[in-house]
Homo-oligomer: A and B are copies of this chain.
Amino acid sequence: MALLVSKTQSGREYKVKDLSLADFGRLEIDLAEVEMPGLISCRTEFGPTQPLAGAKITGSLHMTIQTAVLIETLTALGAQIRWCSCNIFSTQDHAAAAIARDSAAVFAWKGETLEEYWWCTEKALNWGPDGGPDLIIDDGGDATLLVHEGVKAEEEYERSGKVPDPNETDNVEFKVVLGIIRDGLVGDPRKYRRMKERLVGVSEETTTGVKRLYQMMTNGTLLFPAININDSVTKSKFDNLYGCRHSLPDGLMRATDVMIAGKIAVVCGYGDVGKGCAAALKRAGARVIVTEADPICALQALMEGIQVLTLEDVISEADIFVTATGNKNIIMVPHMKKMKNNAIVCNIGHFDNEIDMQGLEAYPGIKRVTIKPQTDRWIFPETQNGIIVLAEGRLINLGCATGHPSFVMSCSFTNQVIAQIELWKERNTGRYEKKVYVLPKHLDEKVAALHLEKLGAKLTKLTLAQAAYINVPAEGPYKPPTYRY
């Protein structure tokens, strides 16, 4: 298969499924803008001063309609953009088409192979001989990973002449990463180091990517500053919680049309994402059971009337299984073998290693029947029982539905815009070291404030006396950094 880059009449590169979907994409982008007051406010407030002028931004983040509004907000603030998705199934092809035609270089389509996925990531990072990117917007850290692994390989190559060997890893996806670095290494053995030197910083979207960043910071291997968007309250307590509460049932319904009421649903992990999933399933009439390792989160589940058990306890009686741990190896083949016929198995954690898809594929005699894209029935030879695995173990809400709705993504993405402006503004001041930062509380509160009017809310204003009494500025921030909401 040849992966060929197309160009628009203006010469901008892209590779998308079908550019003719651009009109449809544009219509939905128009609708989404009405639902994304934070981003539109950014255009109004910051547009005139063009705070991102000159910035070349690479984004690796689900190429959806909502992301299109983010991209066009960044371009409205002066940035140039190259974009790819951070998940093989999460692109909405009409969104990609509209952006490719109208606004930015895009390399993304729904249903990429792993090779295609990393090809797209490389294309989004590769700004050509003039260099770039200046900034990365990352979701899960794959663009950041590629730069870091690329630099590592280049340094090793310079040192020892050794190129990466994909056979040295068992991890199917990491083989592809090493391959793509190897293939470009000899031709341009400084590419990733040029990126690293230019890079002002990254703003990272999600729990999993943030975890990677903190590990690199701890190990001293982080190559550029990072702003942790995920831990803005208006991100992790909104997108993760309310977003999943919306999009998990959406994905389940679109993929399977199954009646949730009356069913037994197991949610693995009761963090923000798991809380959203459990709430959605409970409200839809399921009996929810949670698995947890953390006793505090477990006790929270119990206080909501949700039973806390181990996966083994319920494996053969539950109807729906959702992984939301951010950890790996949660639902393994021996679990899946014990499930009821037509049990539904899906993942809403960032990576697809919560469900042992490799083990399932390798199971002797297993039969895969694709009901429709992203909905597969895997039939075990011994029992002829099938289990229904959604989105091949990847994010169900993006693989089987359209991800989170615009309004909540407006909160998350407004944090992104603010972080990008901040990094770019301070690019020469040394304010940000090679560390991981969170946005200050008053910006977090500002993001929330931008979303209130759309919902008809009216805030109470503190009097000066009241503000003094609780020892906060009258205009906020209203809470200490440790406040948990």
Q: Using a CB–CB distance below 8 Å, which chain A residues touch chain B?
A: 24, 27-28, 31-32, 34-35, 65, 211, 214-215, 231, 233-234, 236-238, 242, 245-246, 249-250, 253-254, 256-264, 272, 282-288, 291-300, 302-311, 313, 317, 326-329, 341-342, 369, 371-372, 377, 388, 401-402, 404-408, 411, 438, 444-446, 448-449, 451-452, 455-463, 465-466, 469-471, 476, 478-482, 484-485
Q: A327-B469, A445-B294, A470-B326 are in contact. Are A457 and B308 (CB under 8 A)?
A: yes
Say whether B405 contacts A258, CB under 8 Å: yes
Given A253-B401, A342-B34, A401-B253, the answer on whether A236 and B484 have CB atoms closer than 8 Å is yes
Q: Which residues of B contact A284 (CB under 8 A)?
A: 245-246, 283
Asked whether, in the complex, the Cβ of B259 is within 8 Å of the Cβ of A287, the reply is no
Residues in B whose Cβ lies below 8 Å from that of A466:
327-329
A469 touches B299 (CB 8 A): no
Given A35-B258, A305-B282, A369-B27, A310-B407 contact (CB < 8 Å) = no
Picked from B214, B305, B476, the residue with its CB within 8 Å of the CB of A261 is B305
B259 touches A452 (CB 8 A): no
A291 to chain B, nearest CB (A): 5
Which chain B residues lie closer than 8 Å to A24 at the CB level? 371-372
How far does the Cβ of A23 sit from chain B's closest Cβ, in whole Å?
A: 10
**Interchain CB contact under 8 A, B246 and A261:** yes
Most chain B C-beta atoms within 10 Å of own C-beta, residue among A263, A317, A401, A485: A485
29 contacts between A and B (CB under 8 A): A28-B371, A31-B377, A34-B341, A234-B296, A237-B296, A238-B299, A238-B303, A250-B253, A253-B405, A259-B406, A259-B408, A261-B303, A261-B408, A262-B303, A262-B455, A285-B303, A286-B305, A295-B449, A295-B459, A296-B485, A299-B452, A300-B485, A308-B452, A308-B459, A309-B458, A327-B466, A329-B466, A482-B482, A484-B485
